[in-house]
Amino acid sequence: MTAPITVDRVTLHNQDLAIEAYLTRPTAPGSYPGIIVFQEIFGVNAHIRDVTDRLAREGYIAIAPALYQRSQPGFEVGYTANDMVIGRQYKDVTRAEELIGDTRAAIAQLATIDGYNGNLGTIGFCFGGHVAYLIATLPEIKATASFYGAGIPVFCPGETNPTVTRTPQIQGEIYCFLAWPIR
């Protein structure tokens, strides 16, 4: 399916914090699942918006919340070495409970959209893959795709125990796509 889509910039609300998000959905009326797209360390940039658009063209209501809204609203960079340094600085100040709360705000936004059928998944890349794995612990999440989920076995944003220790809480399907250098 490569259906026409509607694109919006929306504001999510997690208590007093207003969170920017990129939202796309099929234009045609219908019943559609939702998917939350988690950014890499580079923000909700052209790549993440393109992924979100492609998912909507395939029949999903897709939303990409800005994960760095607390530390750097509107953050978006490319893929240079300097961009990586800056993106990692913002990643390092994220906190698991804040990421979970922000995701709950995205879920609440999806619930207001005509045509959303309540089925929900997540997808994330690198740091976003880590966030997707963390968010897979929410009971609302039916399917997760974590691409290159950086650091899942060794840390959890702002926590002592690594995210992997939360694995028993995952109730839905999870697919992890990992890569290691070939030597």
Angle between helices 96-111 and 127-135 (to 10 degrees): 70
Res 182 pLDDT > 80: no
Confidence of residue 1 (pLDDT cuts 50, 70, 90): low
Secondary element (H or E) of residue 44: none
Res 36 pLDDT > 60: yes
Per-residue pLDDT of 61-79, as tens digits, reads: 999 999 999 999 999 999 9
- Reading the block at residue 173, the tokens are 């399907």
Residue from 124, 123, 20, 14 nearest 75 by CA:
20
Mean pLDDT of 23-51: 98
**Residue boundaries of the structural domains of the chain:** 5-177
Class of domain 5-177: alpha beta
Which pLDDT score is estimated for 48?
98
**Average pLDDT of the chain?**
96
Res 3 pLDDT > 90: no
Percentage of residues in the chain having pLDDT higher than 70: 98
The residue whose two tokens read 């600085």 is: 89
Residues in contact with 135: Cβ distance below 8 Å, sequence separation at least 6, in sequence order = 36, 38, 99, 100, 103, 122, 141, 144
pTM of the model: 0.96
How far, in Å, are 43, 61, 145, 182 from residue 179 at the CA level?
Answer: 22, 29, 14, 9
Per-residue pLDDT of 138-175, as tens digits, reads: 999 999 999 999 999 999 999 999 999 999 999 999 99
Measured between alpha carbons, how far is 98 from 90 in angstroms, rounded to an integer?
13
Percentage of residues in the chain having pLDDT higher than 90: 95
